[in-house]
Structure 1
Amino acid sequence: MSFPGATSGRRVVVTGLGFITPIGTDRASVSAHLREGRHGLEPIAFWGNHEIPIKVAGTVKGFTVDSIHWRDWQWPSQFEIPRETLRGLAPHGVYAFCAVSQALAHAGLSTDQIAGDAGTGLYCASAGSAMMLHQNLALMHAANGLRGNPLGVVSSIAGTLNFNLAAHFRIRGAACGFASACASSSHALGYACDALRLGRLDRAIVVGAEDLNGETLVPFSAMRALSPQADPRAASRPFDAARDGFVGAGGAVAMIVETAEAADARGARPLAEIAGWGEAADGYSVATSHPEGVGLQLAMRRALAEADVAPEAVDWVCAHATSTPVGDKAEALALRALFGTRSGRPLVSSTKALTGHPLSLAGVMEAAFCVLGIDEGFVPGNPHLVVPDIACEGLELPRASVATAPRVVLNNSSGFGGSNVCHVLRAAG
């Protein structure tokens, strides 16, 4: 076990991934969807109301967690969730539990190895469960405050993942949650990496998760942030001139990050290295990005500086681009400002064309996609892009995936309030 202040600047590597996503619930299926440009969006009608202007969503196949009663929930048989743990979970907690279990197995770590280990931390991101909160408060009001769900708080508020997962896996090193909207899990990953580099921890589990239900997504419709399109290819089309909003999604992704020394000591194979990260704020609007992406540009520059990487060394940018008119344009302008008009600019793509936008899960999910691209030698394309927005002029936006191994990748995230995060990932060798 390393102690605070004992060392600094240690390398951080990724040794395990867990996927519960709209494009697959294991590494092989996720990789195949990314390579082939196959989306995981399906028709949906929340509460059976077809008049709600949300026609498609990024659904999680093989899971049934629509009920407010945990006894009704179902999930793939390879995952075992104890009853005492299940009772305190939200729907996205089920996704998260399965993603963490999968990531630990992928990393070659048993639950006994991390239980009670002061060198292992847990960093989580979710918005909580609006559905569970609504139902628990309705129960309380119906009883005039005299009755309520004893696990209503821990199953519904924003800390539900860290509460439940830390208790189940007996995490001792650290357990905390992040709530910066769509940048949340990128913040979780960044601060986990800091803890490892500073010698506070030897490894960390980073997980982001979101419910997929009407309580989570329909409020975004009132903001006019969601696409009303019924055709998935027209609904989620980042950077396209005709884009008209994002497509909501649910799921969970978990990542095991370790110091290179800890991974080497147990013979684990690094999949990629997280070389640095940066964050910055727009200071502009409560809900929309700065029109020129000033905060995101600063976050990217800070990430590159921490990683000691020049912009011309970047091979691929995994863009945050959600398919909203304002957000995609702001990111495109930030990328143009950073990379200029030189030849050999990095490839730029947004995997949200395939997954939809899973809110606070997006950052760690796309960081995991970056790891797949680095480890397996490919860059996902922009399969729903037809006519790029004029703001994208000069950006390299491949329609199909490219069979090239990116050595240096930027992963961008942006959230409400102008919260921007960028991670630099590179080949572990």
Structure 2
Amino acid sequence: MSRRAVITGLGFITSIGNDRAAVTRSLRTLTPGLAPVEFLGNPALPVKVAGTIKAFDVASPSWRDWTFPPCYNVPRETLRSLAPHGLYAFCAVEQALTDAQLAADALTDGATGLYCASAGSAFLLHHHLAHMHAVRGERGNPMGVVASIAGTLNFNLAAHYGIRGAVGGFVAACASSSHALGCALDDLRLGRQTRMLVVGAEEVNAETILPFAAMRALSTNPDPATASRPFDQTRDGFVAAGGAVCLILEERETALARHAPIYAELIGWGQAADGYNVAISHPEGAGLAEAIRRALADAGVAPAAIDYVNAHATSTPAGDRSEALALRRAFTDAGVRPRISSTKGLTGHPLSMAGVMETAFCALALRDGFTPGNANLTTPDEACAGLDLPRNTLDAAPSLVLNNSSGFGGSNVCHVLRAP
């Protein structure tokens, strides 16, 4: 476990930008990526806002109808087995490879692996199953399974890039890509791999988003400027989002030997479950507080060393309160006050890709020297008493940051990053 891991490449297809420069600009200026939406042609639906992906049109179930930026050369044989979020993921990987100064053939060495996170494509799965029923099972799309089920990202990306190292998918709801990143870190530390691509992606469509409305988890605020407001007293649910992020993690000596750019070092992670409820976080934040403690212990740092926390806070009443109490237990009770923000006020909540996306945001903050603020935070919830929640992005360079993720079933995962 003596080997060290660094972040050398990032790729973004997100609601706040489709490249590193645009994402950084949005984080610095607190420019949101939320927009009005209408699902299923039904204006009566209470969900009016989502974190949309610009410059892509993937509304059709047929890949032949999709449009996307011409800078991405997606081979026909690859495109035909992709879901919409698979296309996002492909573009994010291409960006990350360029960013890390890696040629695609470097991924075929057997020492490079791929871990992915997504819920699959409910959109395509519904389409293919409806067709199967319509023809009474006599015909079907031969690519229907690999394009739609939960492993679609790892199937398609591993095959396209010829990856022969560790390949797998992670399904832990909104903590999925954080699990993927933690396991990737362990693989590098243990010498099992020298490089790992970690990818999270989700779609922005009715099939992915509206089921959460039935749980009363989504905001019904129709104003894109204020619908997502983590930690605020007036929050009423999360705003769903999609896109894809790719993060390239490399063994440090390997990265230095090839003079790779280094954003940050990933120095520890921890996980702990609530064991409380299938959907709701522990009311006192017990599992998350323990995950934070384990992450700090793994990294070998004290709570006082953390400068900034990127919170999971999605803008739901119960979830944000639970996390605020966990942060108070981990930091305030120890007499320290790191700056804390949830960037979901800008992006919305992209479900399983949230962890890798926000780790990438932390890497940008560490390398470029800023601390993201809390968009739309007007009056903090009383549970946030004692927490430092800056309203605006600060030109203050953190040196150690913590990133939190939580998912259904009380799955909590935290990562600690250090400036390069």
Q: Give the TM-score range, shorter chain.
A: over 0.9
CA distance in 1, matches of 2:22, 2:29: 10
**Aligned partners of 2:172 and 2:411 also within 8 Å:** yes
Secondary structure of 1:47's match?
A: coil
If the length of structure 1 is used for normalisation, what is the TM-score? Answer: 0.97
CA distance in 2, matches of 1:317, 1:243: 20
**Aligned partners of 1:210 and 1:359 also within 8 Å:** yes
**Aligned partners of 1:347 and 1:397 also within 8 Å:** yes
Pair 1:63 & 2:56 matched? yes
Residue identity over aligned pairs, in percent, reads 65
Change (3 A) 1:344 1:336: closer
1:43-82 equivalences under 5 Å are 43-82=36-75
Secondary structure of 1:153's match?
A: helix
The answer for the alignment partner of 1:4 in structure 2 is none
CA distance in 2, matches of 1:278, 1:64: 38
**Aligned partners of 2:196 and 2:248 also within 8 Å:** yes
Pair 1:102 & 2:63 matched? no
**Aligned partners of 1:233 and 1:353 also within 8 Å:** no
The answer for the alignment partner of 2:419 in structure 1 is 427
Displacement after TM superposition at 1:226 (Å): 0.2
Displacement after TM superposition at 1:342 (Å): 6.1
Pair 1:362 & 2:354 matched? yes
CA distance in 2, matches of 1:166, 1:342: 44
Match for 2:387: what amino acid?
L
CA distance in 1, matches of 2:115, 2:334: 38
CA distance in 2, matches of 1:39, 1:379: 16
Select 2:222's aligned residue among 223, 227, 230.
Answer: 230
CA distance in 1, matches of 2:247, 2:314: 22
Select 2:157's aligned residue among 157, 160, 165.
Answer: 165
Match for 1:169: what amino acid?
Y
Match for 2:380: what amino acid?
P
Pair 1:402 & 2:405 matched? no
Secondary structure of 2:119's match?
A: coil
Question: Which stretches of structure 1, 4 residues or longer, exceed 6 Å deviation after superposition?
Answer: none
CA distance in 1, matches of 2:417, 2:318: 27
CA distance in 2, matches of 1:185, 1:407: 23
CA distance in 2, matches of 1:376, 1:117: 32
Displacement after TM superposition at 1:233 (Å): 3.1
Select 2:254's aligned residue among 250, 258, 262.
Answer: 262
Select 2:366's aligned residue among 364, 370, 374.
Answer: 374
The answer for the alignment partner of 1:416 in structure 2 is 408
Q: Which 10-residue stretch deviates more, 335-344 or 157-166?
A: 335-344
CA distance in 2, matches of 1:341, 1:120: 42
Q: Which 10-residue stretch deviates more, 289-298 or 228-237?
A: 228-237
Aligned length: 420
Give CA deviations for 1:102-134 in whole Å, capped at 9, x if unaligned. Answer: 0011000011121x2110000000000000000
Pair 1:199 & 2:197 matched? no
Displacement after TM superposition at 1:234 (Å): 2.6
The answer for the alignment partner of 2:82 in structure 1 is 89
CA distance in 1, matches of 2:226, 2:55: 25
Displacement after TM superposition at 1:235 (Å): 1.1
CA distance in 1, matches of 2:106, 2:353: 26
CA distance in 2, matches of 1:71, 1:175: 28
Pair 1:28 & 2:21 matched? yes
**Aligned partners of 2:337 and 2:387 also within 8 Å:** yes
CA distance in 2, matches of 1:232, 1:305: 39
CA distance in 2, matches of 1:269, 1:343: 36
Match for 1:221: what amino acid?
A
Secondary structure of 2:123's match?
A: helix
CA distance in 1, matches of 2:24, 2:3: 29
Displacement after TM superposition at 1:232 (Å): 2.0
Give CA deviations for 1:28-86 in whole Å, capped at 9, x if unaligned. Answer: 11001000011000000012211111111000100011110000011111111100000
Secondary structure of 2:225's match?
A: helix
Pair 1:321 & 2:321 matched? no
Give CA deviations for 1:348-378 in whole Å, capped at 9, x if unaligned. Answer: 0000000000000100000000000000000
If the length of structure 2 is used for normalisation, what is the TM-score? Answer: 0.99
1:268-417 equivalences under 5 Å are 268-340=260-332, 345-417=337-409
CA distance in 2, matches of 1:175, 1:87: 21
CA distance in 2, matches of 1:197, 1:343: 32
Match for 2:9: what amino acid?
G
Match for 1:82: what amino acid?
P
Give CA deviations for 1:232-281 in whole Å, capped at 9, x if unaligned. Answer: 23310000011000000010000000000110111112110000000110
CA distance in 1, matches of 2:54, 2:396: 30
CA distance in 1, matches of 2:336, 2:29: 24
Q: Which 10-residue stretch deviates more, 229-238 or 79-88?
A: 229-238
Displacement after TM superposition at 1:179 (Å): 0.4
State the superposition RMSD in angstroms.
0.8
**Aligned partners of 1:341 and 1:394 also within 8 Å:** no
Secondary structure of 1:420's match?
A: strand
Select 1:11's aligned residue among 4, 12, 18.
Answer: 4
Secondary structure of 1:15's match?
A: strand
CA distance in 2, matches of 1:280, 1:235: 30
Secondary structure of 1:29's match?
A: helix
Displacement after TM superposition at 1:341 (Å): 5.0
Secondary structure of 2:387's match?
A: coil
**Aligned partners of 2:27 and 2:393 also within 8 Å:** yes
CA distance in 2, matches of 1:297, 1:172: 37
**Aligned partners of 2:84 and 2:203 also within 8 Å:** yes
**Aligned partners of 2:303 and 2:334 also within 8 Å:** no
CA distance in 2, matches of 1:409, 1:245: 26
The answer for the alignment partner of 1:149 in structure 2 is 141
Secondary structure of 1:172's match?
A: coil
